[in-house]
């Protein structure tokens, strides 16, 4: 494993582990014993960066993922970086598979969320605390001020913002330095590349969630793939629809060709493409499987030259591909 620095001084493994899918959005929660063993294996493999959130759970146990991550990583706490998030809740009355979410970053809510996350994670501090979604009802300067207070209190050591735009990043950073943003990013979702200049200017890291387009870019799915209705978001994602396979055939062929040349897997090429693009990019693919855990970690060994990355970028810009899941609907009113 290789390591990278987010912001000024937060060192993390170059590939992190997104833990959400162990408890939330990818079907019924996985077996806890198996996931604890997988998280321990991740540490042994070299992963030091683990991502969760206060809402990654089930209706019966909304904090399932934080509890799992905290328990599994307790023996390694001084060796790992744990990131979690505050500031949203789901509309549980909705019938949608991916239920709409409502932002809520009021100061009193943030303080309670931080204390609860510390409890569920079983730790005395959070290494990286993200605002899960920007709350238009609360000025970002006020949120940043709250983060500064949590840092002064020793509750958190670094903070970041998920799904932020340039103006929000600048305003937040002016109050309390932002260590990282966490935005969607993959070969199929490149709309945040416009943020690269401001991230470089302010020395802020980019943590990429869904770097494999929710697993699609691993090239392991086909028309016969089936996902659990009602609990697996992939069952409604456009890239997994039967007609999408044909639309994305050229994309998969491109990735597979490069993979063959580099003696790698398509998933590794998808991760290596972003790892070789910017030194402050850290993908956090999720998995429930040991072989995928090792495969994703192996992406750090794949070297793409700047010219090879440039060629891939140009091909991606002109290539036909299906729509890709772009996220959950955000409600405009606080509920």
CB 218 within 8 A of CB 189: no
The CA distance from 208 to 198, in Å, is 16
CB-based contact 73:80 (threshold 8 Å):
yes
Question: Looking at the DSSP assignment, which residues form a beta bridge with residue 281?
Answer: 206
CA distances from 212 to 102, 185, 189, 296 (A): 26, 8, 10, 10
How far apart, in whole angstroms, are the C-alpha atoms of residue 186 and residue 211?
5
Note the helical H segments in 15-82. Answer: 32-45, 64-73
Q: Give the C-alpha separation, 287 to 103, whole Å.
A: 27
DSSP-derived secondary structure for 91-107: -TT--SSS--EEE---H
Gap between the Cα atoms of 319 and 254, Å rounded: 10
Which residues, in sequence order, are bridge partners of residue 302?
none
68: nearest Cα among 36, 116, 27: 36
Q: How far apart are CA 54 and CA 23, in angstroms?
A: 11
The catalytic residues are 56
DSSP secondary structure letter of residue 30 = P
Q: How far is CA 162 from its chain centroid?
A: 9
User: Is residue 3 a contact partner of residue 48, using CB atoms and an 8 Å limit?
Assistant: yes
CA distances to 43, 71, 175 from 77, rounded to whole Å, are: 10, 10, 29
With beta carbons less than 8 A apart as the criterion, state whether 85 and 57 touch. Answer: no
Cα 306 versus chain centre, distance: 25
């Amino acid at each position: 494993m290789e390591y990278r620095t987010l912001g000024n001084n937060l060192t993390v493994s170059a590939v992190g582990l997104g833990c959400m899918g162990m408890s939330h959005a990818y079907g019924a929660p996985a077996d806890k014993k198996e996931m604890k063993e997988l998280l321990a294996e991740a540490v042994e493999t070299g992963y030091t960066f683990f991502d969760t959130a206060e809402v990654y759970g089930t209706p019966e146990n909304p904090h399932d993922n934080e509890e799992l991550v905290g328990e599994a990583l307790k023996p390694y706490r001084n060796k790992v970086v744990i990131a979690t998030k505050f500031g949203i809740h789901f509309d549980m009355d909705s019938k949608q598979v991916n239920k709409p979410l409502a932002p809520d970053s009021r100061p009193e809510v943030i303080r309670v969320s931080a204390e609860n996350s510390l409890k569920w994670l079983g730790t005395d501090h959070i290494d990286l605390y993200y605002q899960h979604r920007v709350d238009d009802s609360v000025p970002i300067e006020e949120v940043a001020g709250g983060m500064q207070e949590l840092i002064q209190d020793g509750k958190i050591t670094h903070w970041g913002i998920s799904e932020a735009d340039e103006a929000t990043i600048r305003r937040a950073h002016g109050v309390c330095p932002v260590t990282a943003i966490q935005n969607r990013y993959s070969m199929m979702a490149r709309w945040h590349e416009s943020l690269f200049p401001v991230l470089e200017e302010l020395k802020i890291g980019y943590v990429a969630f869904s770097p494999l387009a929710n697993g699609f870019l691993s090239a392991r799915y086909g028309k016969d793939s089936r996902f659990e209705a009602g609990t697996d978001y992939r069952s409604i994602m456009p890239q997994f629809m039967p007609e999408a396979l044909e639309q994305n055939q050229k994309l998969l062929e491109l990735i597979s060709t490069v993979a063959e040349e580099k003696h790698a897997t398509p998933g590794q090429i998808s991760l290596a493409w972003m790892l070789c693009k910017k030194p402050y990019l850290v993908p956090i693919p999720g998995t429930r499987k040991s072989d995928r855990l090792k495969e994703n970690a192996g992406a750090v060994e794949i070297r793409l030259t700047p010219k090879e990355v440039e060629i891939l970028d140009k091909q991606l810009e002109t290539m036909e591909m299906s729509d890709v899941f772009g996220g959950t609907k955000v409600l405009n009113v606080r509920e």
